Amino acid sequence: MLSDSGHGDAELEVVVYDKDGKVKRIVRVRGNKFLTCGVSLLWQLLANQINNPQLGLCGGDSTATVDPSQTCLQGIHQACVTPSSFSISGNQLTVVAVFDGNTGNFNWNEVAVADLAHQCPNCSYAPIDRFLAQLGVKQPGEVWKLTMTISIS
Provide the pLDDT for residue 25. 95
Judged against a pLDDT cut of 60, whether residue 6 lies above it is answered with no
Element holding 44 (H helix, E strand): helix 36-46
How high is the mean pLDDT of the chain? 89
52-98: pLDDT as tens digits: 789 999 999 999 999 999 999 999 999 999 999 988 888 888 999 99
Q: Largest Cα–Cα distance in the chain?
A: 59
Instruction: Tally DSSP H helices, then E strands, for the chain.
Output: 1, 11
Interatomic CA distance for residues 24 and 135, integer angstroms: 13
